[in-house]
Amino acid sequence: MSIFLAIVIGVAFGATLDRIGATSPNWIIRMLSLRNLHLMKTILLAIGTGSILMFAGQMIGVVDVMHMSVKSAYAGVFIGGLMLGAGWAASGYCPGTGVCAAASGRKDGWFFIAGGLLGAAAYMVTYPSWKASGLLDNLAGGKVTLGTVPGAKYDGLMALSGDILGIVLGVVFVIVAFALPERLNGAGPAPVAAE
């Protein structure tokens, strides 16, 4: 059953990434260079939609709170984020969109995957030094959510009701998606080269 769900949800995710333009380096770089924020608006709306549905689902008891999986906060999250961001902008791919781009026939996507496998291997080898450096030590309680989600195995940073805060923040993401202009950098209509 779990393999069946992996196939159904995986196929849906890959197909959606293809249809929103996320597997194209052109659209990723238009977004990151702030010349065309179409993909940014898509992503913000997706986070908002997902958040509202998930927390509302938890409140009415449809979504199992135990399905939440919150990652630890530590200094390395920010450093790793900086690294990922630099490589994301240079290549136009992140791990998920890179594998999808390769599958859709983009040659550079296969080079990205090869680089990714080498990067993962390098991390496996250098992990003990990061661990010893203390940069992987939890900050602010580690696996925490911003509010306190009822029934969750994670602590809240604030005593606020976590599910209501989740819905409120979800609505904020949706509002920002609508409010964001088409472009922030440069003049004229946002670029949309034919592909």
Partner 1 sequence: MPLNWKTGGVLLGFVFFLAVLLVKPIGVSTQFVILDAMVADAVNPSLITQTDDGAYTSTNAYLAKSGGKYAKNAANPLNYSFVFVLAMMAGAFLSAMARGGVTKDERRLPAVWYANYGDTPMKRYMVALLGGFIVVYGARLAGGCTSGHMMSGMMQTSLSGYIFAAGAFAAAVPVAMMMYKKEA
- By C-alpha distance, which of 170, 171, 139 is closest to 155? 139
| Residue 26 lies near partner 1 (rule: CB under 8 A) | yes
**Contact between 164 and partner 1 (CB under 8 A)?**
no
Cα dihedral sign for 91, 92, 94, 95? negative
List the one residue from 59, 60, 61, 87 that touches partner 1 (CB under 8 A).
87
61 contacts partner 1 (rule: CB under 8 A)? no
CB of 34 to partner 1, least distance (A): 7
Q: How far is the CB of 58 from partner 1 (least distance, A)?
A: 10
Whole-number Å distance between alpha carbons of 172 and 43 = 13
Centre a 10 Å sphere on the Cβ of residue 27 and count the other Cβ atoms it contains: 21
Whichever of 125 and 159 has its CB closer to partner 1, that residue is: 125
Cβ contacts of 114-122, under 8 Å, gap ≥ 24: 115/91
189 binds partner 1 (CB under 8 A): no
Residues that bind partner 1 (rule: CB under 8 A) add up to a total of: 131
Q: 133-138: long-range contacts at Cβ-Cβ below 8 A with a sequence spacing of 24 or more?
A: 135/74, 135/75, 135/76, 135/79, 136/74, 136/75, 136/76, 137/74, 137/75, 138/72, 138/73, 138/74
From residue 100 to residue 119, the character string flagging contacts with partner 1 as x (rule: CB under 8 A) and all else as - is xxxxxxxxxx-xxxxxxxxx
- Answer for which of 57, 59, 161, 176 binds partner 1 (CB under 8 A) is 57
For partner 1, the closer of residues 59 and 94 by Cβ is 94
Looking at residues 136 to 155 of the shown chain, list those that interact with partner 1 (rule: CB under 8 A).
Answer: 140, 143-147, 149, 154
Q: Are 158 and 146 in contact (CB under 8 A)?
A: yes
CB of 141 to partner 1, least distance (A): 8
Smallest distance from the beta carbon of 52 to partner 1, in angstroms?
Answer: 8
